[in-house]
Amino acid sequence: MEKQLAVDEHTTLSLPTISNAIEIFSLVNQYRNDLREFLPWVDETHHVDDTREYIKFCLSQYDNGSALVYLLYYQNKIAGTLSFNTLDKSNDIAKIGYWLASCYQGQGLMTKACAKMIEYGFNGLHLNRIEIHCAINNIKSQNIPIRLNFKKEGELKQGIKLANNQYVDGVIYGLVKEDFNLKLTSPH
C-alpha cells in the first residue's frame, strides 16, 4: 500500500509516524469540543502518549493490511485524518472514516481528499466496494458521500456509538467500482 498520495499541490495524504504524535495530539486537544460530538475516541485521548499508541496501532494495521490510516496534510500542516478503517479482502470492501479540525472545514478539503482515496482504493488496491457509515444527524459527514455520488443504501438501528456509550442510528452510503466517476454532485 502507498505510504503517500498527492491530492493536489497543497494537499497530501501520508502515513503517520510516531514523530507526528505531538502535532496530532495538539490539534485534537485544541478542537476536542467540536470533534468529540461524533468521535468517541476523543474523550479517551488525554495525553500525547495516547496518540503515540494510536499511531503504533495504525502502523501495525498498515503492516498486516487490515486498515490504512493517512494524515491529511494541507499546506504542510496536519489538518485531520482520512482512512480505510477496515479493509475486507475477502470481499474487496473498505469502510472510510475521516475528521478535520474545525479551522480546515468548509473548503472542500475532505471531499477532494476522499475522491483521491476512493480512486486509489478502486484502481490501486483493487477494491470493488467502498462504504461510509455516518450518524443519522451528522449532516456534514453525509454530505461527503452525497457529493461523491455514493448511494444511500439503508439505515442501521443504533449502528453508531458516540461518546458516553450513546448509540444512535447510522446511515450507510455505498459506492461500487462500476459506478465510480469523479464528477461531484451538490448535496443541496
Ligand X SMILES: CC(C)(COP(=O)(O)OP(=O)(O)OC[C@H]1O[C@@H](n2cnc3c(N)ncnc32)[C@H](O)[C@@H]1OP(=O)(O)O)[C@@H](O)C(=O)NCCC(=O)NCCS
Amino acid at 123: N
70 is an interface residue for ligand X by CB under 6 A:
no
Contact in structure between 175 and 153 (CB atoms under 8 Å) = no
Residue of 25, 38, 73, 173 interacting with ligand X (CB under 6 A): 38
Residue number, 7 or 125, with CB nearest to ligand X? 7
140 is an interface residue for ligand X by CB under 6 A:
yes
Residue number, 11 or 61, with CB nearest to ligand X? 11
# residues near ligand X by CB under 6 A: 19
172 is an interface residue for ligand X by CB under 6 A:
no
* Residue 57 to residue 67: CA distance in whole angstroms: 10
Residues 81-110 touching ligand X, rule: CB under 6 A, are 98-100, 105-110
Go through the chain and tell me how many residues it has. 188
Provide the minimum distance between the beta carbon of 63 and ligand X in the complex, in angstroms, as a whole number: 25
Residue number, 61 or 81, with CB nearest to ligand X? 81
All cell numbers assigned to 99: 475528521
CA dihedral 134, 41, 99, 35 (to 10 degrees): 100
All cell numbers assigned to 187: 448535496
Taking CB atoms, the residue at the shortest distance from ligand X is 108
Residue of 11, 51, 61, 141 interacting with ligand X (CB under 6 A): 141
Provide the minimum distance between the beta carbon of 122 and ligand X in the complex, in angstroms, as a whole number: 19
111 is an interface residue for ligand X by CB under 6 A:
yes
Quote the DSSP letter at residue 150.
Answer: P
135 contacts: CB under 8 Å, gap ≥ 6: 38, 141, 160, 162, 168, 169, 170, 171
67 is an interface residue for ligand X by CB under 6 A:
no
CA 159 distance to own-chain centroid:
17
Can you say whether residue 72 is alpha, beta or left, with left for phi > 0 and alpha for psi between -120 and 50 degrees? Answer: beta
39 is an interface residue for ligand X by CB under 6 A:
yes
All cell numbers assigned to 6: 498527492
161 is an interface residue for ligand X by CB under 6 A:
no
Sites of contact with ligand X (CB under 6 A): 35, 38-39, 98-100, 105-111, 134, 138, 140-141, 143-144
